[in-house]
Chain A
Amino acid sequence: TASPFTSLPIREEMTTKYSNLSLESHNISVTEHSCVPVEKNITLERPSNIELICQFTASRDMNSVNVTWKKGDELLENYLINVTGSIVYAQYLFTIINSKQMGSYSCFFGEKKEQRGTFHFKVPKIHGKNKPLVNYVRDTTVLICKCQHCSPLNWTWYSSNGSVQVPIDVQMTDKYVINGTNANETRLKIMQLTEDNQGSYWCHAVFQLGESEERVELVVLSYLVPLKPFLGIVVEVVILVAIILLYETYTQKKKKHI
């Protein structure tokens, strides 16, 4: 959809300073009768120029509508308004180059808090495994974190006992090895597992615009754990076999006596 705003001074500045960055355009439509604020989630991986447009439709006089833009609670300036018929267009142009500029941007129409649209900017989510990884003592396991359509600058791993995240000591190369087959994946290989290694591990993906983290759960069992049900079944089978053998000898003895 073409922007209702033609070339404007601010835009020119933007195109010269950050001309190598791409432009992303996002729209939100708010009506007078919205009882719920309208929201849009935007995933952003690298710095870009952003154009946010809020479109407000109402039946009353448009010129009296008070339009404001806010980032969080902070009032923003340098936005443009265009009134065409019964629709008000509010545009905010800016550039996101670091994590400070990420967050939620809202356009407000009038005093009512419900008449607004919000754009949420987030870094891409990464995915680990939602089920815990079960392994045994002295095994080797690989924890994997993936990012579907993104390439982080860097990956780091932390282990946590409780709430504190401790970085993995990569110097212990006989225990931990971090590598990834491509940029959108990271693997942490842990060797010679012990029961202490059990717990939560966090993989962090570092982007220019922030960090994304995901948790992977590791469970380490000793060999005794499945051994108990195994022995249970073996005992049950032995008992059944004994019962049948006894029954057979008993019936044979009975037949002999007859």
Chain B
Amino acid sequence: MLQRAGKARPYTKPLDGGWGWMITFHFFLVNVFVMGMIKTFAIFFVVLQEEFESSSEQTGWIGFIMSSISYSGGLLGAIICDITGEKTVSLLGALLITGGYLISSWATSIRFLCVTMGLLPGLGAAFLYQTAAAATTKYFKKRLAFSTAIARSGTGLTFLFAPFVKVLIDLYDWTGALILFGALMMNLVPSSMLLRPIHIASEENCDVKNRGSCLSTSHPGAVCVTEMPSCNETQEATIISDSALQKAGQPGTNLIVSQNKNTELNNEPDGNSAFLITDEERYEKEAISWSRKQKLFDISPLKNPFFYIFTWSFLLSQLAYFIPTFHLVARARTLGIDLMDATFLVSVAGITETVSPIITGWVADQAWIKKYHYYKSYLILCGITNLLAPLATTFPLLMTYTVFFAVFAGGYLAMILPVLVDLSGTSRVHGFLGLVAFFAGMVILSGPPIAGFLYDYTQTYTGSFYFSGICYLLSSVSFFFVPLAERWTNRS
């Protein structure tokens, strides 16, 4: 798919705009459809339970598998992405979701559905999410938080899916509804085609062991500048001047120098190795095979302290996020608030969560302070809000809690990707994100059971809010270690 003759040269620098907005649009659609798919499962749950006369625990497994694979599958997606590029994986993801839903309409048992409606769409969702997030980080640098926030605001629209799915089930029964829902997901196919390939002048292998390397654009006289925000300060930008190129050979000849730091190019300053390709046609092939030289399953993030900081915080915050979302309506009901008002709370939360990331993302992009400080503060504020939540016993108080929580939650959700990029470096986003998502998926599995257990044990929903508040506060703790980790990486 990437090797059509006469194709345009892929982009090489983060655009921070231009075609990047198309990527944001695609990410927006991914958020809308994937989140919509996960949230509407609750409606299918009721119908499927009736149809197959199974227990709610058995039927619940489908949703479980779907949610947790949509995180863990990101790792697989990252691996395939390194081989074939983002567009292919995204298309594969969209087709997996559509196929899964179409096959599900012929389901004969819950086990069948666990695979076709849990595993396949979950995997597809993971692929879509992984590629969209990674592509966004490549296309945006200065405006990353803002563009991610716009994309994330798509989740606010998912409240439209619920009535839509209800209508589908009423008109066409669950089999027809699944077929049409799957067809709707096919819209992610043209949207995935918007993911034009981009290869950043990368800081690949930009840890302290190797010196910087870069990929230049093909014609001679190009200046290759590496952008490596998280690199060691001792790295220097590698500039290949015209003179060096002319000495190296005529334009039109291939010059491929191995990635190894021991090889030196003529008159190259400081022994930095360069990787020059002067022939357009072989650009893509070389880039791909070069990345294949890296290990397929890159576990280098595991050696990175920032990885642990981020994963710890991500796990706990995702765990804490789901629980109030699940139990908000139930808590409102136990306080005597009727269903209409309770669903109004949910809509308000949805809308606030749509708007808040955009504002916080824009603020973060102004780079007044480092992004992870924002992230840390939002997590702490979320924690405090949740700990105070049990004090909300009337509708106005509960509404206040909902708004504040939505604002702060939207804030930290917008910052996930930018902070991840800051900690890992643009080129390693795939591996980082894949591994983080993988571990998160394991932990997310425990979220709903813990919430249910808390309720059964305490017979009230306040326990869930306390748990969530504590989780948020704990998740922010790891970020206090960032300066320590920075000093550690600098020293070694």
Contact = CB atoms under 8 A, between A and B. Distances in A.
Contact of A237 (B8, B176, B190): B190
Given A230-B180, A230-B183, A233-B180, A251 B193 contact: no
Interface stretch (B167-175, B226-234, B396-404): B167-175
A180 to B, nearest CB: 15
Contact of B176 (A131, A226, A255): A226
Interface string A95-130: 000000000000000000000000000000000000
A221 to B, nearest CB: 7
B288 interface: no
Interface in A228-251: 229-230, 233-234, 236-237, 240-241, 243-245, 248, 251
Given A230-B180, A241-B193, A251-B8, A135 B186 contact: no
A198 B67 CA distance: 38
Contact of A244 (B180, B183, B193): B193
Interface in A124-178: 131, 134-136
B51 to A, nearest CB: 10
A226 B179 contact: yes
A131 B170 contact: yes
B189 A135 contact: no
Nearest to B188: A237
Given A226-B180, A244-B194, A136 B189 contact: no
Given A237-B186, A244-B193, A225 B176 contact: yes
Nearest to A133: B173
Contacts of B176: 134, 136, 221, 225-226
B112 to A, nearest CB: 17
B180 A229 contact: yes
Nearest to B186: A237
A248 B194 CA distance: 9
B186 A252 contact: no
Interface in B156-207: 170-173, 175-176, 179-180, 183-184, 186-187, 189-190, 193-194
A171 B125 CA distance: 51
B48 to A, nearest CB: 15
A252 B180 contact: no
B223 to A, nearest CB: 21
A256 interface: yes
B22 to A, nearest CB: 10
Contact of A136 (B6, B170, B175): B175
Contacts of B8: 251-252, 255
A243 B191 CA distance: 11
A226 B201 CA distance: 49
A234 B185 CA distance: 10
Contacts of A243: 190
B491 to A, nearest CB: 47
Q: Which of B7, B9, B183, B187 has the most CB of A within 10 A?
A: B183
A240 B187 CA distance: 9
Range class of the B interface residue count: 20 to 34
Contacts of A248: 193
A190 to B, nearest CB: 15
B183 A234 contact: yes
A55 to B, nearest CB: 35
Nearest to A229: B180
A179 to B, nearest CB: 15
A135 B51 CA distance: 12
B25 to A, nearest CB: 12
Contacts of A229: 180, 183
B96 to A, nearest CB: 15
Contacts of A135: 173
Contacts of B173: 134-136, 221
A225 B171 CA distance: 10
Interface string B70-95: 00000000000000000000000000
A252 B10 CA distance: 11
A131 B166 CA distance: 12
Interface in A207-236: 221, 225-226, 229-230, 233-234, 236
Contact of A134 (B170, B186, B187, B189): B170
A240 B7 CA distance: 20
B190 to A, nearest CB: 4
B190 A241 contact: yes
A134 B114 CA distance: 24
B190 A240 contact: yes
Interface of B: 6-9, 170-173, 175-176, 179-180, 183-184, 186-187, 189-190, 193-194
23 contacts: A134-B170, A134-B171, A134-B176, A136-B173, A136-B175, A136-B176, A221-B172, A225-B172, A225-B176, A229-B180, A230-B179, A233-B183, A233-B187, A236-B187, A237-B186, A237-B189, A237-B190, A241-B193, A245-B193, A248-B193, A252-B6, A253-B6, A256-B6
